[in-house]
Amino acid sequence: MIPAILPTYNRAPLTFVRGEGAWLEDAGGQRFLDLGAGIAVNALGHAHPALVAALTAQAQRLWHVSNLYRIPEQERLAEALVATTFADTVFFTNSGTEATELAIKMARRHWFERGTPRARIVAVEGAFHGRSTGAIAAAGSEKLTKGFGPLMPGFVQVPWGDHAALEAAVDDSTAAVIVEPVQGEGGIRVLPDACLRGLRALCDRTGALLILDEVQCGMGRTGRLFAHEWAGIAPDIMLVAKGIGGGFPLGAVLATAHAAAAMTAGTHGSTYGGNPLGCAVGLAVLGIVGDPDFLADVRARATRFRQGLEGLVAGHPEVFEAVRGKGFMLGLRCRTSNADLVAAGYRERVLTVPAADNVVRLLPPLTLTADEMDTALERLDRAAAGMATDPVG
Ligand SMILES: *Cc1c(COP(=O)(O)O)cnc(C)c1O
């Protein structure tokens, strides 16, 4: 019999009833250290006082009016994002997938309006851009697309790290290239800065728009407000979601005036996108995460955490192969099963997230303290030790 909830997730048998900072508590009062942060969503941890205050104040004033009217919170958040990024303009969504959808539309419409239509969008193997029909066609993997055809045409994927294939795939018939600066679901694979710069140059040469999917790696996750800042380049279009709402559903497409020029009145919309609740929270998140001092502190704490993880890996060579990632977007490549290690973590009350390529992801709240790092390392150490002696299936 099919359960009341469509069984598209294999859920862990854990139920949390409250959270504070990097901690989640179950009904029995057991406290779990949350190194998953709801898949990089709770950027400031659970129940951050500034976010709770912003949400409750807005909830008492106004929830929803629709985009038929001006929304001051939306305008303020858009202006703040424009002021702190490459972007000239912003469209708000409720999720990362919706941001992907708009990016696809924006890129194609851009070329349509220029009178030289280009439809083809080049993506990278192992990518994840969401679960809509467009987003699965973009990523293209069997795992995402099997049984859902016919897929939206116009996407090609090049193998990860294959520069020649990328050069061959992107030409003056390419509408856009879409890539994650750090692949999340793909297993915390960091696109080297030099590759990102090369990709920018390739797009400049061919006119293809550069779409960066920073849904997971953006909003301070790598220690910069957006991951592409490390490479000193800017995209034409950027997708943001997850961390920007700190746990409230919020996403955005940021774009240059050039890339967005064809998106005139009536070409796109969203009933809920940019609603007062989401934007009030987003403003509070950006106010904290966008502070250069906060980001410098994230980099310092993340460096410390990574050093600890290097020690963990060195101490369990039979379990781990390597640490990879950037800032607080970290992956432990496993020799044993990553799923087993995540399960062993549950028993030690530390939450991590599996990813492709046999990686365990660590995406803690950006506020993770030194003490919490030590606790995390102790619990991960016990989880790894349990793996070696008592493998779980
Ligand atoms: C999570 C994710 C998405 C999809 O976001 P949803 O909010 O789940 O729709 C898209 N791209 C990347 C890189 C993601 O990590």
Cα of 131 vs centre of ligand 1, distance in Å, is 8
Confidence of residue 45 (pLDDT cuts 50, 70, 90): very high
CA angle 321, 368, 362 (to 5 degrees): 30
Q: Are residues 207 and 321 in the same domain?
A: no
181 close to ligand 1 (CB < 6 Angstrom): no
Residue of 132, 189, 242 to mutate, ligand 1, most atoms within 8 A of C-beta: 242
Bridge partner residues of 124 (DSSP): 158
Cα of 226 vs centre of ligand 1, distance in Å, is 15
Residue of 216, 222, 329 to mutate, ligand 1, most atoms within 8 A of C-beta: 216
Number of structural domains, the chain?
2
Closest ligand 1 atom to Cα of 213: 13
pLDDT at 169 over 50: yes
Q: Whose CA is nearest to atom 15 of ligand 1?
A: 216
Residue range 368-383, pLDDT digits in tens:
999 999 999 999 999 9
- How far is 30 from 27, CA to CA, in rounded Å? 7
Q: Are residues 145 and 265 in the same domain?
A: yes
Closest ligand 1 atom to Cα of 214: 13
Determine, yes or no, domain membership for 140: yes
Cα of 128 vs centre of ligand 1, distance in Å, is 7
Count CB neighbours of 89 within 10 A.
16
Query: In which residue are the tokens 């090609």 written?
Result: 156
CATH number of the structural domain spanning residue 156 = 3.40.640.10
Confidence of residue 392 (pLDDT cuts 50, 70, 90): very low
Cβ contacts of residue 323 below 8 Å, gap of 6+?
306, 309, 310, 313, 330, 331, 332, 333
Q: Are residues 167 and 79 in the same domain?
A: yes
Confidence of residue 387 (pLDDT cuts 50, 70, 90): confident
Q: Are residues 204 and 273 in the same domain?
A: yes
Q: 115 is written with which tokens?
A: 């009178």
Q: Are residues 276 and 314 in the same domain?
A: no
Structural domain including 142 reads: 54-289
Chain centroid to Cα 244, Å, comes to: 10
Q: Are residues 285 and 297 in the same domain?
A: no
Q: Are residues 311 and 216 in the same domain?
A: no
Q: Whose CA is nearest to atom 6 of ligand 1?
A: 96
Confidence of residue 260 (pLDDT cuts 50, 70, 90): very high
Q: Are residues 228 and 298 in the same domain?
A: no
CB burial readout 339-378, b (16+ within 10 A) else e: ebbbbbbbebbbbbbbbbbbbbbbbbbbbbeeebbebbbe
Determine, yes or no, domain membership for 346: yes
Determine, yes or no, domain membership for 5: no
The answer to pTM > 0.85 is yes
Q: Are residues 204 and 69 in the same domain?
A: yes
Cα of 87 vs centre of ligand 1, distance in Å, is 20
Q: Is 364 helix (H, G, I), strand (E, B) or coil?
A: coil
Q: Are residues 306 and 253 in the same domain?
A: no
Determine, yes or no, domain membership for 24: no
Cα of 158 vs centre of ligand 1, distance in Å, is 20
Q: Are residues 101 and 200 in the same domain?
A: yes
